Structure 1
């Protein structure tokens, strides 16, 4: 009887060892598929505007895990540290701006769509704000929209990153609706004085681009931020 039990145990141990030595023995039990896009349509549209709003003043990262920019306070025991870490390890911020020189974390941006109206989402948003504020990480919330005024986004960001410095003066007066499509004036290439346009083909926001070749080389035009999926263009 004892010999039979020992034999069963020995066989079990051998099977476990064989599984561990087998290439890919730790492979997941279920397969996965690749998602087609990292960002949603709304996020891709806003990303195009964000690149205009910050220019070369910041690096833009998207879908950054909160635990990669925040960490529990020192002095916690192992149990409390893990309890503090778990919530931030399961959440991410939509966009993160970092210093272009040393990649220091500067500003987190949340793009609030309709889902942020749910109770669970509001609870998550409140937690994120309460985590970021005492840690010294500014959090900017921007309501998702079909179109944005680039100068407004830029002003909101600079008010946080460069408070009271007056760096890169901006127009303070809101632009009339009839004047939102403004081409750069002679002698200036400040694209931030232009406002976002909605693409006439897909409805995504349009961004200012410059033709690099052909008859229109050097000329500025509106191009869809969903390019190359959408090739909508519009003259300035």
Structure 2
């Protein structure tokens, strides 16, 4: 309703999924101090964001799944903006101030075969979702800030023309059965990542210690005492389909000179 601009204490406005929403009422401009969270995700009929909306306290703006391709310059002075969710659009490359603000980018165009190089310029991008892009063949360079790449269901994905340097990055390539060996080696041998999901039916040769049971014994080359910090990688082959994000428990016990 147009009267929503008269709600001075409103701090969170969630309109996600309002597919009939075409435009925001002009009274939204009155919410210039109270609202910090504005969620318009999946408002598929929304094509523009009002220039008059000059809120400087918004921390979260969700526009993924809308028809908005050109973000107005009115968001430039939003110094409090921490998270900007957008849908992938080639038009975004014309708005460098937007690229510096995007933290979450969702690609939903099923016709895209390659990721545009401008994505690399999204210096704050942490989450990049390209799920079920069935014609996507390659992924180009990505920003170092990336923490999560979800490419599950990209059935045509073959190449990764990128690298992953963030030690906390999480990668999901579930159901990417055409991913070539070079790309798989890049992922497995990358010195830094938190966890990865890859399609396959066997443990890669990179993992030399193997077991088909509930545990594996590894004989370390280091002489005792062991260092206080020991890093290792483990690969688990799941026989049943598991949703990415489910908790998988892994217990590690290191024994030195007969003591845990």
TM-score tier, shorter chain, comes to under 0.3
- TM-score, structure 1 as length reference: 0.26
* Higher share in strand: 1
Q: Which is richer in helix?
A: 1
